[in-house]
Amino acid sequence: MNTEKHLNALIASYETVIENVGEDVRREGLVKTPERAAKAMEFLTSGYEQDGPAILRKAMFAEDYKDMVVVKDIELYSLCEHHMLPFFGKAHIAYIPDGHIVGLSKLPRVVDVFARRLQVQERLTHDILECINDTLRPQGVAVVIEAAHMCMMMRGVQKQNSVTTTSGFRGQFEKQETRNEFLKLISSNLS
């Protein structure tokens, strides 16, 4: 849990990092940087204190709707656990209800719960998928994430135009016909 003691420990850690890269933490432009960085890190990792299934359960409604529900182009921002550099992109989620629907805003909230942790894109995809599948118990769930990784763009291979795509499918989406319908919907511009 984020407490003043926790925040102060993060601030001290950022002071150490700044000093270890050869900067003067007392320099005017850097005086407040450790505190700002610590508060940013608390926000960027706030998903550890949130419960995805609880978010979904608060907005589950009995409904006899049995067709596909798609929410696409959900912005996501996360930190790569290997370099603690950002990765960002879009999540596309679909589910086929089996007696219950969920408030549409809850799906992007679930994305944020798992994105605001130190992550790899593969686990992020799986975490979102399993949270929805285990909580809603739908006929099927699909999750596709497309993201750019700063660890590949700023350092290492330095490939600015690379995008990583991960996907996961459960239930009815394991059938090629249903999966293809979802993939067609997320790649089309219907507006």
Please indicate, yes or no, whether residues 31 and 124 belong to a single structural domain of this protein.
Answer: no
Respond yes or no: is residue 126 known to be catalytic. no
Under the banding of pLDDT at 50, 70 and 90, the label for residue 1 is low
Query: From the candidates 23, 82, 122, 174, which is the catalytic residue?
Result: 82
| Residue ranges making up the domain that contains 119 | 52-187
| Three-class SS state of 117 | coil
CATH number (domain holding residue 17):
1.10.286.10
Q: Do 88 and 160 fall within a single domain?
A: yes
Q: Could you read off the pLDDT of 60-116 as tens digits, one per residue?
A: 999 999 999 999 999 999 999 999 999 999 999 999 999 999 999 999 999 999 999
Q: Is 80 one of the catalytic residues?
A: yes
CB atoms under 10 Å from CB of 180, counted, come to 11
Contact 113, 130 (CB under 8 A): no
Shared-domain flag, residues 150 and 57: yes
Q: Answer yes or no: are the C-beta atoms of 109 and 128 closer than 8 Å.
A: no
**How far, in Å, CA of 61 to CA of 50, rounded?**
21
Which residue of the set 15, 131, 149, 172 is catalytic? 149
Contact 114, 108 (CB under 8 A): no
Residues 12 and 77 in one domain: no
Instruction: Provide the domain count of the chain.
Output: 2
Within this chain, do residues 38 and 117 fall inside the same structural domain, yes or no?
no
Q: Which two tokens stand for residue 68?
A: 């596909």
151 is catalytic: yes
